[in-house]
Every structure is written in C-alpha cells, then in structure tokens.
A and B are shown apart, each in its own frame.
Chain A
Amino acid sequence: MRYLPLTPGDRSDMLAAIGVPSIDALFADVPAAARLPGLVDLPLAQGELEVERAISRMAAKNTAAGSVPFFIGGGVYRHHVPAAVDHLIQRGEFLTSYTPYQPELAQGTLQSLFEFQTQVALLTGMEVANASLYDGATACAEAVAMAHRITRRGKAVLSGALHPHYREVCETYAQFSGLEIVTLKPMPGIADPIDIDIETACVVVQYPDFFGELRDCSALAARCHLAGALLIVVVTEIVSLGAVKPPGAMGADIVAAEGQSIGNALNFGGPHVGLFAAREQHVRQMPGRLVGQTTDADGKRGWVLTLSTREQHIRREKATSNICTNAGLCALAFTIHLALLGEAGLARLARLNHAAACNLADRLASLPGVSLVNDSFFNEFSLRLPVPAAQAVAALAEKGVLGGVAASRFYPERDDLADLLLVAATETTTPEDIDIYGKALAEVLR
C-alpha cells in the first residue's frame, strides 16, 4: 500500500522490540465480542489510476457550472479565482500543518490569519474579526448566541429576507439553547416590519438581502441600540462590499458573512468560510480563534493565538463556542485572493458584477410577463415569471442553461413565491451568456 511505509520486515522487527507475538496482542483490550475477525465488506485497495478513474466517472455525471451559461447564486457565487491562489494554498507547509498550537513553528499560518482578520475587519467596516468559522450560516447562529450572551436577553428577530438556510441553522441551534427565534415572513421587495422590545437580544438582517435588495440599515441600527438590542448584519455575497457601504458604517454590532466568493470554489456547498466581525468592546464574547500580535524573546514582532480563555480547550463547558477546527485553508485562499485584488481590483470586480447583473436584469425583465422585483440590487435579483419558477428552471436546464434558483426550492409551501426566480450574474458572465439566457427564457415562456 503506497501510503504505508512499514515493510513486513519492519513490522516483525517492531513487534519483537515491543515484545509481543503478533499485532493482535496490541488489541487485547478490545472485548473479544467486538473484534472483527476479518475484513469489512468493502472493496480492496486500488491503485491511483483505478481510484482516479472511478471517482472521475462520478464527476463526469455532473454539469460543471463553467461548462454552461450559469446564473445561480442564492448564497454561493461563481467567481474567477486567480491561479496563484490554488497554487499557494497547496504548498505543503500550509496544506499539511494544523492549528498553530506551537507558534514558533507556525508563524506563517499565524501571520496570514492576522492579515485575514485585518482584511475582514476593513471590508466589513468593523473593529475586529476572528480567524474564521465554518460558513456564513453557522457564523450567523454564533452571532445570535453571542448577542444573547452580551444582552442577556432571550429573543432574536430574524428578517424574512434572511437566507433560509441561515434562518434554519439559527432555529436548529435555538431548539436546544432555549433562545426564542422570531422569523418574519419573507416578502420580496418589501421591507420587514421589525418590532424590537425589551426582550430582544438582536435583530438579524441580510445585506444585500436574500432577494437581492439593498437596504440601508442605519435607522434600524439606531432603533436596536435605543432598545438595548444588537444589530447583526449577514452578508452572503462578500464581493458586494467592494461596491456598497460596509455594515460597520451603518451601525452593525456583529457581521456574520460567507467568504466563499473570494478565493473559494463552489464545492457543491462546502467547504466555504465563515467570516465573523464585531466591535472591540465585545471581543471577549466572540466565538472562534483569534490571532494577536506580540513579541518574542528577542523583541521581534510575532503572532500567537490569543484570548484562548474564551475557548473550549481552556474553558470547556463555559466556552463561548464549541468550535475547534475552523476553515483555516479557505481563509488563506480568501486572504490571497483579496491580496491579489487589492483596493482597486476589488472595486473593479464589484463594478463588473453589478454591471453584468444590471444588463442581465434589463434583458430578462424586457420579456413579456417577466417583471423585476427589485428596486436595487448588487449581483443578484428576483424576477416574477408568468409560470412556476421551478418549471422554468427545469426547462432551462434542458436547454443547457442553469438559469437561477426557484424560491420554491426553499419555500415549497409558499404558493405566493412559486413564480419567483433568483438570478445572479458575476464577472464570469459574458454578454453571450446573457444573450443565450434571454433567448432560452423567451422560448421557455412561449
């Protein structure tokens, strides 16, 4: 077996050194009734060629996004990732190291995470950010739990335009933590009627929202603060912050975001990277790892994991979260891609996305019976169709166009959303793609 360096000779020498007659002797503590006498019922070892062939066959049964005109978003966005990103994250020193428990052997990981924290803080307009969480949805649930700890209040109010997966994850966590979750009804194109009372720990809104609309949350932030509640702003398309005001500038107390769009592939939904930023005054209530700057015994600048007394390995049941492994390598990909973009590149990337979406929206909304729901949007918008959106998505797929996500995929019980289609465009969308989509949708609706 190519991954196992011990030879049969090594094994017998080592057993002799240990002083046992066979390997079975080392498993003597396993109760006899639980010892498997032979192999489990699975195929035997295979060479690299055979494994590659078998798994490639499965991959070939899928339609890769890049192989067709592609307009799906809904919280995961297809962007071009520069070749240098994947090359650098595959360096063994990044790929095959672990959590930097020994800082003298991990200054590379620690410095890159410090850069990641800085980038996330700058982009969101917040004071501090952590070293990543699993994804945007779990970051959102962690933000709600943090607001509960800070305010000692028991209710979270979720906007109806919050991504339904994010809402569901919050609801799952809340079933067990005892937090009350109030979810407003999703109403595309209409602002939430949000009530805040003395029991409200936090209000959670998405920006741009699930239906693509951009809403200024400054007034909402002011209302939250007046009532002693926190405002949590969720961002599922982080590239948008290259074009629009950051949540921090609108009074957000916590930003929980999905960072996939920068540096990371679609990956059929994971791994992605959760971004988490907050105000400095709340740093000791934050979940997850934090890298801090310090000096070494020679007075040189260096980095360490810090404020660990919040974390499970120190605080155990009193920890701010149970998270241990996070999304380190995805955070590194984010950092490298954003470093390549820089100030000018990110701004232009965001404008390219917006321009593609504007042109796509104009084209599609010009079709008979199709109407644009949004007053504003970044790179994703909602359309009302004259047919059920799920039916249109299936018919478009037959024509080789992946034309968006039907809202009914998330809300099968909501008849009033059956005709709603979410459509996204990015810098990867070409004018030809837009033309093909326009023609295909016209045919589907004919």
Chain B
Amino acid sequence: MTSWSQALSAHPGAAAETATLTGNRGLQLEEPLLFEQDSPGHCGVDLPEPPPHKSRLGGLERQGPIGLPGLSEPQIVRHFTRLSQKNYAIDSGLYPLGSCTMKHNPRLNEKLARLPGFADLHPLQPTSTTKGALELIDTLAHWLKTLTGMPAVALSPAAGAHGELCGMMTIRAALTARGDARRRILVPESAHGTNPATAAICGYAIENIAANPRGQVDLAALKASLGSDVAALMLTNPNTCGLFEDEILEIAAAVHAAGAFFYCDGANFNAIVGRVRPADLGIDALHLNLHKTFSTPHGGGGPGSGPVALAAALAPYAPLPWIVHGDRGLELIEHAAGSAARSIGRLKGFHGQMGMFVRALSYMMSHGADGLRQVAEDAVLNANYLRVRLAGALSQSFPGACMHEVLFDDRFLKDTGVTTLDFAKALIDEGFHPMTMYFPLVVHGALLIEPTETESKASLDQFADTVNGLAARAKSGDAASFQAAPRLTPRRRLDETTAARKPVLRWRPDPPRQQAAE
C-alpha cells in the first residue's frame, strides 16, 4: 500500500482536503534528505586550487569517497529554510514547556556574541591579547555571585547536567579531603532525571525521598534518611511541581547537622532571581542554566552553559581554569598548582561556553538589578494567572499559589478516553507547543506549564481559552478527535515503538526500496 492511499483511508476528510500533486500543502513543503539530493560535481563553496606542495600525510591518504552529497548554495539554503519551517519555536508562539524556561531570546545578545573580539578569539592566544574576554568572564561571575549570594562560581560546565556533575564532584572532593567517605545521595522523587544520573556518575548510591501531600519534600522522611553516610541532598527549588520548598531552611539545617552538603538544582532560578539569594537558603552548591534564566537560546537542544555557584567550603575544589585577580590584573589559572592545587581538574576543553557568557551578560546588563527582579515577579505572576484561568477546567495537583510554573494532572480527563498525550497533541493543532508531559513523576499524567515572563496577557488569555476549550471538548465525549491529533502538522503522530525496535539512525546509500514498493 502506498503512503498516499494510507493517508486517504486513515483520515479521509483531512487527506482529501489536502490532496496535492506534490505532497506539499501550501507553506508546508516536503523536503528530502540532503543525501537524496546529491548532484555530483555541485559544490556550495568555491575554493582555490591548492598551491604546489609535497604531501606529508604519512601514506595515510584517504582511499575512496566519503559519500557526502554535492549541492550548490541555493539548494542548501532552501533545504534548511524548509526544514526550519517544520519547527515550532519561541519566536513563533507560546512554548510553555515546564522546567525549560522557554523565554524570548533577545537578538542583541546574538549580535554581541558574534563580535570578532569574542567569536574570533582563540582560547590559547597569549592572555595579553584576550584581556577583554577575561574581563567579560569576570564581570559575568560578579553578577552571578551577587545574584546567588555565593562567594565563588565555576564557569566551565557546558550545560545544566554538566554543572550538576561539577557541583557533586566538588562535594565529593571536599568530603574526601576531610576523610569522610560517604556513600549516599538523597534525591526527591520529583527531581529531574539528570540528578540521580549525575550522582551515579560520581560513584554514589541514590535514595529517593518521598514528597508530602503538599508536593514538597517530606521533612520527617528526609530526617529519617539522613545519616553519617549521606554525602548530599540534591534538591530543585522551586521544585518541579512549581512550588517553593517552604521548609527549606529546616531542610538545610537538617542536612548540615548530618554533616552533608546541600546541592540545589537551579533550573528553576527564573522564579526567584533578584528576589531570593540561594546562599540565604543554606545552599552549598547550585548550578544555573544560562540557557534558561539568562535567555541564551535553546538552539534545538543546546549549546547550554551551566555555571555552578559554590559555598566557601567547596570553592577550593572548583574545576579549572580559574580567573583570579592578580598583581597584574586578571589572570587565567590553568593548572592545579598553588592556590588551585585542590581543584578537581578540568571538566571540559578550554575555558567554558564563552559565546553563552557574552549573551547572558548582555541579558543581565539589559535587565539590571531592577529588571531581573521584575523577571521573577512577572514569571510568577504569569504562571499564577494561568493557574486561576485554568483552575475550573483542569485539575491542579497541589492547590494554592505556584511559582513560575503550575502543575496539573490528568484527573480532569478521567473517563473521557483522552490521555495527557492526546491532550497535548490536540494543543499542537491549535498552534501551541504543549506543556511538559508526564513529568514530574509524582503525579499521574502530569501537565507542567511554564509560560515565562515574556508572554503578554493577551497571549496567556488565548492559551487559557484554548486549553479550557479543549478540556470542555474532552469532557463532552469527543475522544476521537484527540486521538487523531495532530492532524495539521507536517507529520502526524510518529511510530516511536518501531523506531526503537528497529533503529534506523542514519541514511544509507541503499535504502530498502522494495519494502516501500510493496
């Protein structure tokens, strides 16, 4: 059966409306793989003939072609433009992906990161030629230290999970230095998956801590689990239920009384930036996602940057390199000697995600102390506004005010035949990116909504009207329309089971054409 007839039989109405000769549908253009558009001899760059030289490749010259397709620049530009048009993005609309902080990415930041003085700067240049770069990094560190209240910040981690790794490594190094070989890490059930994965890489056993009925850490359960072999608690605050842990000072005191460290996942820092300093909560180490709170673009999944703010007890173990204020101005310390002798060492090549540092500093300087506080307030205001606007139709997991994101579960879909997944897919047809689904794991069929501060009231109202309308439709018994969604996207629901069972992870020159013809 051809894909064409399948399309007609599966959903005759929709397919008949969109039947075209080309398979294109207006602005939705079909686009084959690059490899399927090879026109041998074509090239998208014009390079001169190499000058005469005697080859010194040691007899290792490549034998035979690589298999890369040849295309001209217009073909390439069209290819990637068409692909881009198959993506949803913050620039296109509300992207309320909980715990991801999908806020507007200011274009000034892009412009400044591309200044030749930053972008065209090599990390191994003599530091006499990179003074402005060190100044920018030092200025960024000052802002991050001031906002967190912490005395030190490690800048080299490349993303949030890498920052977690950095923080947990410094904790283990500090414990080892005091001869304290602790084995366990406590992690709340609502934690991001990166937390237990990170602790495991650091050689620790993970113990889950239950949530109390209010969606927060159960203090009694925490105290019962604490002991002389607990190295740290890894807590996200505000947590992934969108709640500020209101017993956090008691939590910190209990952790410290047990001789353990308090690690905080700062993925949700956007809720409190400029209003609460993590140091004042008793936190010993906290990573910040520059690609969340400080608006460096998510880029389809990176690059990120995950600086880690550290308490004084952990700072000596921070990874290399360090920037210090020396006699001759800023100095780059690249080796574990002298004052840096206790460093855990290097976590990545070179000095960190400089391109992200420029963007984040540009963002912070644009907002200033006043604007950043307003960011937290508007992010929390927007989430609470959605909370009350959706309260009648959806089932909020933990009643009461939320922080920057609001958690619902699937009780409102009970007996409708519609699942959280179906609901999310229906939202796609309405022109919205869905919320985070099925996370956190502490409630059934979670829908976690984070609008961020860069949405207008009109945008929130339109989203709320849509979600409320869909909820009403689900309750009216129209499960079929949800199960068929999305219908208007370039591709409809994709078969993930087959993708995992028979992985096809790359294009190959000889696709099994026979199968397609059957």
Contact = CB atoms under 8 A, between A and B. Distances in A.
Interface string A375-404: 111100000000000000110010000100
B57 A214 contact: yes
A36 B277 CA distance: 8
Interface stretch (B39-47, B217-225, B307-315, B465-473): B39-47
A297 B119 contact: no
Given A102-B434, A166-B349, A6 B378 contact: yes
Interface string B152-167: 0000001111101100
Contact of A343 (B15, B70, B132, B320): B70
Interface string A234-256: 00000001111110010000000
A330 B297 CA distance: 12
B280 A34 contact: yes
B366 A352 contact: no
Scoring B56, B92, B129 by chain A CB atoms within 10 A of each residue's CB, the highest score goes to B56
B117 interface: yes
Nearest to A163: B349
B6 interface: yes
Interface in B8-64: 10-11, 15, 31, 33-35, 40-45, 47-63
Given A72-B125, A375-B58, A51 B159 contact: no
A62 B2 CA distance: 60
A99 B368 contact: no
B491 interface: yes
Contacts of A145: 201
Interface residues of A, number: 214
A175 B491 contact: no
Contact of B385 (A17, A36, A98): A17
Interface stretch (A117-125, A194-202, A222-230, A435-443): A117-125
Given A294-B495, A325-B304, A34 B281 contact: yes
Interface in B68-88: 68-71, 73, 76-77, 79-88
A88 to B, nearest CB: 5
A317 B57 contact: no
B91 A270 contact: no
Interface in A349-373: 349, 351-352, 354-356, 358-359, 361
B354 to A, nearest CB: 4
A120 to B, nearest CB: 9
A346 B45 CA distance: 9
B457 A13 contact: yes
Scoring B7, B87, B97, B111 by chain A CB atoms within 10 A of each residue's CB, the highest score goes to B87
A293 B373 CA distance: 44
Interface string A14-39: 11011110010111111101111001
Interface in B465-516: 484, 486, 489-496, 498-500, 503-507
A14 B381 contact: yes
A283 B503 CA distance: 9
Contacts of A41: 146, 369
B213 interface: no
B101 to A, nearest CB: 10
A306 B300 contact: no
A100 interface: yes
Given A34-B280, A312-B161, A6 B146 contact: no
A43 B69 CA distance: 52
Contacts of B115: 55-56, 59
B197 A325 contact: no
A10 interface: yes
A299 B6 contact: yes
A4 B453 CA distance: 7
A172 B125 contact: no
B374 A54 contact: no
B517 interface: no
B87 A358 contact: no
Contacts of A173: 201
Contacts of B411: none
Contacts of A102: 88, 424, 428, 433-434
Contact of B401 (A17, A25, A114): A25
Contact of A266 (B120, B198, B382, B494): B120
B122 A266 contact: yes
A137 interface: yes
A59 B87 contact: no
Contacts of B281: 31, 34
Given A2-B366, A92-B91, A266-B119, 5 more contacts: A43-B369, A97-B88, A106-B86, A292-B500, A402-B126
Closest 7 CB pairs of A and B: A269-B350, A59-B117, A376-B58, A329-B299, A61-B132, A92-B91, A340-B44
15 contacts: A3-B454, A14-B381, A55-B112, A98-B95, A100-B300, A107-B86, A134-B159, A241-B62, A268-B355, A297-B10, A322-B165, A341-B44, A344-B70, A376-B57, A378-B57
